[in-house]
Amino acid sequence: MASYSRMLLCYNATHQGRMALREGAALARELNAEAHLLAVVDQLGWATSYDAPLINVDAIEKQTAQEILREGVADLVSRGVFARGHLAIGDPMEQIPSYAEFLKVDLIVLGHHKMGRLARWWTRDTDRLLLDRVRCGVLVVIDSV
């Protein structure tokens, strides 16, 4: 089994994100690993998801992400894990690998939301898969329900 000493927990306050946070916290505590928590503001995703005029969502998005980050760090502390929080702005498929490289983590922990085949076709380009962009382990927590 690989030894993980530095972990990046990706958190977005969704059900899947909370599950990944719990699993990541348990693993970090068990391995006595250094933990980093990352919240990503995907402004392009927000802007393209709604049929509305483009407005300056910087302040709203950043404030929400900071609240999510504080919530995640507090949750980790309540589970006996100290984590340094990081806030990134941009595409998660670019920000997660960038932070993983910068922080020199050996494991990324994130949640996964299942989609139907058709939805997956238009959500992301296949050449932008996270696994193809990182040089460390990835633990994907999947909801069994």
Q: Report the predicted TM-score, pTM, of the whole model to 2 decimal places.
A: 0.80
84-137 tens-digit pLDDT:
999 988 888 899 999 999 999 999 999 887 765 554 444 555 445 888 889 999
Nearest to 98 by CA among 140, 134, 123, 144: 134
Give the Cα separation of 73 and 126 in Å (integer): 32
Give the Cα separation of 5 and 32 in Å (integer): 7
CATH of domain 6-127+134-142: 3.40.50.620
Give the Cα separation of 114 and 93 in Å (integer): 17
Exposed/middle/buried for residue 59 (C-beta within 10 Å: 0-12, 13-18, 19+): exposed
Which has the higher per-residue pLDDT, 30 or 65? 30
Give the Cα separation of 11 and 68 in Å (integer): 8
